[in-house]
Amino acid sequence: MMEISVNAQAIAYLVSAILFILALKGLTHPASARRGNYLAMAGMVIAIVATLMGSEIRSYGFILAGVAVGGVIGTVIAMRIQMTAMPQLVAALHSFVGMAAVLVAIGTFLNKQADGLLNGVLMGELSAGIIIGAITFSGSVIAFGKLQGMISGRPVKFKGQHLLNALLAIATIGFAVHFALTESTVSLAIMTLLAFILGFTLIIPIGGADMPVIVSMLNSYSGWAAAATGFTLQNNLLIIVGALVGFSGAILSLIMCRAMNRSIFNVVFGGFGTAAVEGDGVADAAQKGVKSAAIEDAIYWMEDANKVIIIPGYGMAVAQAQHSMKELMEQLEARGVEVKFAIHPVAGRMPGHMNVLLAEADIPYENVVEMDEINPEFATADVALVVGANDVVNPAAKDDPTSPIYGMPVLDAGKAHHVFVIKRSMRPGYSGVENRLYYQDNCSLVFGDAKDVSEGMVNQLKGSAH
Amino acid sequence: MPETLVALYIFVLSCFIGYWVIWGVTPSLHTPLIALTNAISGIVIVGALLVTGLEGVGTTAEIIGFFAVLLASINVFGGFLVTNRMLAMFNKKKK
């Protein structure tokens, strides 16, 4: 392969970094987003080609094999994955970045050791790369397990958890320092192992419904892992990209925490939330003085309405009900009803989860409205239809200072003339808090799976065509 | 200025760029943003290439490097393609 000079390579890296920044900038609007993705692809190609053409790389066999195998696996996964499984896929991909960072650091250590180029600063940077990468890896594996339902989504809590984490963290850093000072391979190995364990113990206590924060946080970690690798290799492109990704994830975590009115500290260490037992919905509801309604009742109010606002939540994703939502929207729009979708920032299992599912179902993004914008509209809506969402519509967050979720911004669904909630059971949301909305006079619960109920609604509407 | 300090300058300034660029991202595109940043963090592939392609290294490092290249490639290919798939969904209703 033709060789390029170090300076030419540096210029290519600069171009690549600029392309990545412009790519992220492209995501400010759906119309420019796709171009943004292409810019990032171009940036990646330039970076890889410039690296391969550099004088440092002299053998290509293993590289080609790795890219070929990885490329095929990545392509197949990306083409086959269902949109509802995006959170799992993202968690899995984060774990790969983490592991790659660990491997790069260890490989660099071996290479530099062979060349006698090790020094304290370098070994400190290597340790940082390994620790962050390892935590990203095992944390993401746990997050994947929880999202995939392989591990219970409940917060796993035990006594002395914080103490254990603190001790693990101190020990990890202790071995890192020892490694940097003495070049001890044993310390390196123990440090790596402890960091893997730490990632596991940090994420296991966090409940399924806090996943939007966790996915964002691991996204951030994967960026810091790349940045640490950049420090080790004295590679500015990795540092720039790592910082961009790290900050992106950090900001998303912050946005998610604000949307729950909780501090990041509280999410990471709080282990808040209980999981109640699922009982028989209708019987429980009658006991608690909640009205339940049939599909026909909901349709009666919706078909002659002027405006219906649909509030999707995780239940819609689980039931894969987004396509029947689209049909419901079309049926209602054919009757002159204005239909909008109201999105709470933490609805679902990752930031923007609902938007992607609604986009997949071909629901125009003009009909999909963020919380702050839609809230004033509930008072003029005839029907608010809550599909598998819970805490994000609980009025207690606004007016009950004793409620654990008090202060969390919520959707004002209760202000609509009629509220219908599609729900599988009376189980409370992740916070374990009773939803006061259900006891309001204007609210009725339609029990059933989100997809079954919404398909039932669509069929009912088709049957009663005007 | 020592190289590590230059790297620190670059790192800190990039953090500021990240901060300002990301706040501009529309909330409806937060999932594609995560998928895209995920693909971009596949840039560790550059590090993986440098480990794998060094001539005259012991086979251990080469094999470790091979796995790093493989994992990072899954990220690069998978990340960009899935982002593209998602963004296509957002785009198609621009009638």
Tokens of A178: 């020892």
pLDDT above 60 for A26: yes
Secondary structure (3-state) at A100: helix
Q: Tell me, what amino acid is at A89?
A: L
- Residue A200's SS3 state is helix
Between residues 180 and 219 of chain A, which touch chain B (CB distance below 8 Å)?
215-216, 219
Q: Identify which of A100, A241, A364 has the shortest CB distance to residue B72.
A: A100
Band the pLDDT of A428: cuts 50, 70, 90: low
Spatial distance between the Cα atoms of B25 and A75, rounded to a whole number of angstroms: 26
Render pLDDT for A308-345 as a digit per residue (tens, 0 to 9): 999 999 889 888 999 999 999 999 999 999 999 999 99
Per-residue model confidence (pLDDT) at position A279? 43
A31 and B91: CB-CB below 8 Å? yes
Distance, CA of A89 to CA of A95 (rounded, Å): 10
The residue with tokens 């596949």 is B42
Can you give the pLDDT at residue A267? 74
CA atoms of A421 and A298, how far apart (whole Å): 9
Largest alpha-carbon pair distance within chain A? 83
Mean pLDDT value of segment A365-386:
92
Strand-pair partners of A386: A311, A421
Query: The pTM is what?
Result: 0.89
Band the pLDDT of A69: cuts 50, 70, 90. very high
Q: Among the ranges A271-280, A292-301, B74-83, which has the highest mean pLDDT value?
A: B74-83
Task: Quote the tokens at residue A84.
Answer: 């509802």
A chain contacts of residue B50, beta-carbon cutoff 8 Å: 51, 56-57, 108, 233, 235
Average pLDDT over residues A187-194: 96
In this prediction, residue A149 carries a pLDDT of: 83
* Partners of A387 in the β-ladder: A312, A422
Q: Which chain B residues are closer than 8 Å to A251 by Cβ?
A: 18-19, 22-23
Query: How far is it, in rounded angstroms, from Cα A44 to Cα A76?
Result: 19
Higher pLDDT, A298 or A159: A298
> pLDDT tens digits for A79-88?
999 988 999 9
| Distance from C-alpha of A258 to C-alpha of A160, rounded to nearest angstrom | 28
Of A94, A234, A350, the CB nearest to B31: A350
Q: Which member of A210, A391, A412, A449 is catalytic?
A: A391
Q: Which two tokens stand for residue A124?
A: 């400190």
Domain boundaries, chain B: 33-88
- pLDDT tens figures, B14-61: 999 999 999 989 888 999 999 999 999 999 999 999 999 876 556 788
Q: Which residues pair with A369 in a beta bridge?
A: A342
Tokens of A270: 């709080």
> Residue A285's pLDDT band (boundaries 50, 70, 90)?
low
pLDDT of B92 strictly over 70: no
Largest interatomic CA distance in chain B:
58
Give the closest residue to B10 by CA, choosing from A187, A268, A441, A227.
A227
Burial track A197-215 (b if 16+ CB lie within 10 A, e otherwise): bbbbbbbbbbbbbbbbbbb
Q: What is the ipTM of this complex?
A: 0.94
